[in-house]
Amino acid sequence: MNMTTKEEIMKTMNSDLTLDICAEDGSRTRFVQDEEASAGKTLRQLLSPRLFSQPLLTLASEHSVSAIPSRTIDLILAHTGSPPLLTLPTGWLDAVETDGEAFPDIADPEVLPATGRAGLLAEIHTLGDWMVRLKVEIIVPPTVQEKRIVRHHFLDVPVIPFRLRTGGIGLINPANISRVTVYPPLEEVGEMALAADLLESVRA
């Protein structure tokens, strides 16, 4: 893979795979792979559930090798016209990036009780001030006990995968999440949470 400069970004948009590595210090590094077989291999390796638990994320080409400490990575965006199928966390049916600027009207939550499914909007912020809004479809647990399990383990996963709305996949490092806002609130969480409305998020 070849690391590109900002001036080269527009030239890479037609490549088979473009990776944006978004770090906890707010920086972004872009890598490009335009060889189809290598791009496919890289995508398969990115889908490993142990992606962020390994010490280094290593990207190699015939010219160079780049190694990035995994603990410093907040988010990986893999832009490609041929995204692989995602293996989602248990109980998740789908997770896709959305460009909605606000949470929907609370009077009209997207809940589908007849099918045993529910739609959630999750706004995820990371240490590097990266923000992703995801539309997540989950299976609604039938019992109170299972709902409690969902409450405790909703984000207790080694990696959070999702589909990019422009094509490709995204991968969030849960260890580097600074805040998550979910609408509508998970019932079991809402009952135990402090009562307050989020008006605005300001970075000092």
pTM for this entry? 0.78
* Cα 37 to Cα 124: distance, rounded to the nearest angstrom: 32
User: What is the C-alpha R_g of the chain?
Assistant: 18
pLDDT at residue number 14: 46
pLDDT at residue number 154: 66
Three-state secondary-structure class, residue 51: coil
* Cα 88 to Cα 17: distance, rounded to the nearest angstrom: 21
Do 57 and 119 form a contact (C-beta atoms < 8 A)?
no
* Cα 169 to Cα 39: distance, rounded to the nearest angstrom: 13
pLDDT at residue number 67: 93
* Cα 193 to Cα 117: distance, rounded to the nearest angstrom: 23
Chunked into runs of 10 residues, the chain (204 residues) has average pLDDT values of: 43 69 96 88 91 92 87 96 88 87 49 67 94 88 66 77 94 95 66 53 54
